[in-house]
Amino acid sequence: MISLENVTFGYDGRAPLLQDLTVTLGERRIGVIGSNGSGKSTFARLLNGLLTPTAGRVTVDGLDTRTHGRDVRRRVGFVFQNPDSQIVFPIVEEDLAFGLKPLKLAPAEQEARITEVLARYDLQAYRQHPSHALSGGQKQLLALSGVLVMRPEYLILDEPTTLLDLRNRTRVARAIRDLPQTVIAVTHDLDLLHDFDRVLVFDGGQLILDAAPPEALAHYRALMTGEGGTA
Ligand SMILES: Nc1ncnc2c1ncn2[C@@H]1O[C@H](COP(=O)(O)OP(=O)(O)OP(=O)(O)O)[C@@H](O)[C@H]1O
């Protein structure tokens, strides 16, 4: 369970973006939507301690992100919006192996995990390939694979499908559906959210609605298009 208690957060020298936010995230599939600049990525980064609150606290299974940052980041995997911020090694398999290092797995287990995740996203042929020479979508899949291979208990995805074609978008949607972990996905891809358990809608740094997908998506569509009523 991830809990935010009276969380306020502002970037250095700026007025608070999020103010006095209290919310508990326990469902398996939680979507986060809202206009550009509404605070979604900031919210996501608070969930694994990449950012810490200016006031209030965020806990993951009772661990405070401020005081237990390392433990929290081990439990909560984060896939960045821009895969280039995540891919650090020049060769695909090295990049996957790097994330596994701290887990100190037996070599056979490490090998099995890497092979499985590459197969899942059709990247087997790119195992020895330079990471920087992958296409944008393949990089997004590699960034996701690099986190999945560590099997964190929670997974935060910031715009996981922006660069993907329909086949890969479907793959990622299926992966999200089938993963046993809690997944919190920030997205503008509303189709992804239809079978989610819960959707949070942000606007101007405020959590304006916390509801099941039909209600949240209809509200968001009306907000964005200026049309009242349902979607
Ligand atoms: N590192 C930063 N330093 C200062 N301000 C920032 C920083 N990152 C984001 N902001 C500001 O905080 C606000 C919210 O940004 P955030 O990235 O959380 O929005 P978002 O809802 O994820 O947007 P998008 O849909 O465009 O990705 C914006 O006004 C943005 O300019």
- pLDDT tens digits for range 18-30: 999 999 999 999 9
37 falls within a domain: yes
Query: Would you place residue 13 in the very low, low, confident or very high pLDDT band (cuts 50, 70, 90)?
Result: confident
The CATH number given to whatever domain includes residue 21 is 3.40.50.300
Q: Which residues contact 166 (CB under 8 A, 6 or more apart)?
A: none
DSSP characters over 62-101: TEETTT-HHHHHHHEEEE-SSGGGT--SSBHHHHHHHHHG
In terms of residue numbers, what domain contains 134? 2-206
pLDDT tens digit sequence for 109-129: 999 999 999 998 889 999 999
187 close to ligand 1 (CB < 6 Angstrom): no
Let me know if residue 101 belongs to a domain: yes
ipTM greater than cut 0.95: yes
- Closest C-alpha to 200, from 18, 61, 58: 18
Determine whether the shortest distance from the Cβ of 38 to ligand 1 is under 6 A: yes
Among 8, 9, 11, the mutation site with the greatest number of ligand 1 atoms within 8 A of its Cβ is 11
Instruction: Name the band, by pLDDT with cuts 50, 70 and 90, for residue 82.
Output: confident
Q: Does any ligand 1 atom lie closer than 6 A to the CB of residue 139?
A: no
Question: Does residue 231 form part of some domain?
Answer: no
pLDDT band at 231 (very low <50, low <70, confident <90, very high): very low
This prediction's pTM: 0.91
- State the distance from the centre of ligand 1 to the C-alpha of 88, rounded, in angstroms: 24
Contact present, 60 and 75 (Cβ < 8 Å): yes
161-to-83, 85, 100, 187, 225 alpha-carbon distances in Å: 11, 16, 24, 8, 22
How many independent structural domains does the chain possess? 1
Task: Assign 215 a pLDDT band (cuts: 50, 70, 90).
Answer: very high
Determine, yes or no, domain membership for 213.
no
Residue 64: inside a domain, yes or no?
yes
Task: For strands 55-60 and 2-9, give the pairing.
Answer: antiparallel
Q: Is 17 in the pocket of ligand 1 (CB under 6 A)?
A: yes
Q: What integer pLDDT is reported at residue 228 of this predicted model?
A: 58
Q: How far is the CA of 161 from the centre of ligand 1 (A)?
A: 19
Helix (H, G, I), strand (E, B) or coil at 110: helix
219 part of a folded domain: no
